[in-house]
Structure 1
Amino acid sequence: MSHENPADFRALMASFPTGVTIVTTAGIDGVPRGMTLTSLCSVSLEPPVLLVCMRHGSPTLEAVEAGGQFAVNLLHRRARATAELFASGAQDRFDRVPWRMTGQAAGPHLLDAAHTIADCRVTAHHVVGDHVVIMGQVTAVSRLVEEHQPLLYGLRRFETWPDTEDRLSYDFIS
């Protein structure tokens, strides 16, 4: 793979399935912002820190940097339409989905699409190529629904894990 061919890198990353999230925040003007992304990673358990990567120049990224906080909405298997909406760039996305931002929320909570939400305070950010890596210390975790089967993305399509009675449970964090 040469760095002159971004298609090779896209193919590499497409073969790595991952969970789907929507990062939300509010701009300094109070307008909600949000975008679909699959680049979420745990960094530290003590203190609880995660990272997200957002495209440089994104209005959501600009609002996160200005406000210093964001929410990570972990999507459940029935939230594909919401994931596609927030990936589309539609200006009216928050008019088309139920959401709430109350109390200490760091960004809008997507009530019908997320199974779990992490509210985060920005602790660092680093420009890497055409993206910005944002480190966020988790300040609160909210579980919204009993449906915990995540929405996944890989091979350029959305999927979920098949239902099975022989589920093994692992508690893994790097």
Structure 2
Amino acid sequence: MSGTTAQRRDITAAANQRRFRDLMSSFPTGVAVVTSVDAEGAPRGMTCSSLTSVTLEPPTLLVCLRRGSATLAAVNTCGSFAVNLLHADGQHTAELFAGPDPDRFARVYWRRSPAGLPHLTDDSIAVADCRVAGLLDVGDHTVVLGQVGVISRSDGTPLLYGLRRFAAWPHQ
């Protein structure tokens, strides 16, 4: 294969990735931070907008986590994770957990649940503790199925993300 053909494929792949990102940015979604603990008990977490319900019986959801991330490694080690659904004032936390800051848990208020999972109590309108029920590697991410156990909920307006910006759910 010539260098020109390989370059064309790289350009096409990059263009397809940009178009795919554009497509997905057109689909507004809620914002969550998935948290777990590693083998030493240290909290790990990352912002995740790839979250959906799967079944009602048993209550199961799925999240998509980047392969190679410390959060996915912690989920694999721990066998459980928490999904922290952020409220409208949680943009700072969403951005913090989307970035590379290794001390992100030192910059937010959190507490351990009875199961030992990190809950972002000040920034969440709801938190679900989940037990890993299945894993599927797809491309550069792993689809993690979580059977939902304990759920906590408080009042608030959800944080949304779409068109590459954050917004609050409109008030009625």
Alignment TM-score, normalising by the size of structure 1: 0.89
Determine which structure has the larger helix proportion and give its number.
2
Q: Which residue of 2 aligns with 1:156?
A: 164
In structure 2, which of residues 118, 127, 144 is the aligned counterpart of residue 117 of structure 1? 127
Report deviation, 1:89: 1.7
Counterpart secondary structure, 2:81: strand
* Number of aligned positions between the proteins: 160
Mapped pair 1:62 → 2:73 = yes
In structure 1, which of residues 46, 65, 85 is the aligned counterpart of residue 96 of structure 2? 85
Report deviation, 1:103: 1.6
Q: Which residue of 2 aligns with 1:167?
A: none
Deviating runs (4+, > 4 A) in structure 1? none
Report deviation, 1:3: 7.0
Q: Which runs of 5+ in 1 are unaligned?
A: 165-174
**Mapping for residues 85-104 of structure 1, pairs under 5 Å:** 85-104=96-115
Structure whose CA Rg is larger: 2
Alignment TM-score, normalising by the size of structure 2: 0.90
Mapped pair 1:131 → 2:137 = no
RMSD (Å) for aligned C-alpha atoms = 1.3
Residues 42-64 of structure 1: per-residue CA shift (max 9 Å, x gap):
00000000000011100000110
CA distance 1:162–1:68, change in 2 (3 Å): same
CA separation in 1, counterparts of 2:21 and 2:133? 29
For 1:60, give the aligned amino acid: T
Residues 66-109 of structure 1: per-residue CA shift (max 9 Å, x gap):
1110000000101001111111121111001110113224x200
Q: Which runs of 5+ in 2 are unaligned?
A: 1-10
Residues 141-164 of structure 1: per-residue CA shift (max 9 Å, x gap):
012x321x1100000000112212
Counterpart secondary structure, 1:163: coil
